[in-house]
């Protein structure tokens, strides 16, 4: 289909995980495999447990209202809540540390 698989994929049955969502382990493991601390990562999640896991990992969390209503995910601690990913823009920017990503949330 022409889709390049990501460098890192963590699934619920990954033997390296001690606990799954809502524990932060999946996001901490993924960030570590990518060579980043979770605090330098952005998590896009559509489930309450996933949102809680991303927040617990210390990542910036964008909750997406695609499988749960805004009311169901609104109190899970996400930094931003969007209806869908059409509300999110991403662009590559140059920073003091090299290239980075800048996300813009459209409300």
Global pTM? Answer: 0.88
Residue 15 falls inside a structural domain? no
Q: CA triplet 23, 77, 18: central angle to 5 degrees? A: 5
Residue 100 falls inside a structural domain? yes
Number of domains in the chain: 1
Residue 41 falls inside a structural domain? yes
82: domain CATH number is: 3.40.50.1000
Nearest-CA neighbor of 41 among 106, 105, 101? Answer: 101
User: Which position has the higher pLDDT, 80 or 4?
Assistant: 80
pLDDT of the residue at 14: 94
Residue 5 falls inside a structural domain? no
pLDDT of the residue at 30: 96
Residue 18 falls inside a structural domain? no
Residue 62 falls inside a structural domain? yes
pLDDT of the residue at 92: 93
Residue 81 falls inside a structural domain? yes
- pLDDT > 80? residue 17: yes
């Amino acid at each position: 289909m022409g889709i390049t698989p990501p460098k890192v994929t963590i699934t619920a049955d990954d033997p390296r995980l001690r606990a799954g969502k809502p524990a932060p382990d999946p996001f901490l493991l993924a960030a570590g495999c990518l060579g980043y601390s979770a605090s330098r990562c952005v998590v896009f999640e559509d489930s309450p447990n996933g949102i809680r896991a991303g927040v617990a990992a210390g990542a910036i969390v964008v909750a997406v209202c695609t499988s749960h209503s805004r009311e169901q995910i609104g109190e899970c601690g996400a930094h931003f809540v969007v209806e869908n990913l059409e509300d999110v823009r991403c662009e590559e920017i140059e920073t003091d540390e090299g290239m980075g990503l800048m996300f813009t949330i459209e409300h």
